Amino acid sequence: MSTTDFEARLRAALAPVDPPEHLADRLERTLVNLTELAADELESWELSAMRDPRNWARPAAAAIIGAGAGAALVVLRVRSQRHKRRSQAANALDLAERTVRDVADEARRLLRRR
């Protein structure tokens, strides 16, 4: 095998692959469903049942899953707007401020829904 043949095969194997167009929408729907299910699970628990440590597993799992899915949803939504923010920003500091503001706004929106 020659060097150019090896390079061509390596280049073909490492070519970037674009994800399907509907992947972001499907991921967002899944994350929204997870956060809603976790919130419903937490709302259904009564404080009197929390006295027994054996009952802590389900609410703890719901809290962890809900927080993780909510954080991933915020990141996904903020990331989808990165090109608009980058074009509006005057410099790197302005871009960072806009990004932090968008993260806070998106987190507030997500918390308000519940």
Say whether pLDDT at 46 is over 90: no
Name the residue among 49, 44, 81 with its Cα closest to residue 66: 44
Confidence at residue 49, expressed as pLDDT on a 0 to 100 scale: 72
The predicted model gives 11-39 an average pLDDT of 88
- Rounded to a whole number, what is the largest CA-CA distance in the chain? 73
Helices (H) and strands (E) in the chain, counts: 5, 0
Confidence of residue 67 (pLDDT cuts 50, 70, 90): very high
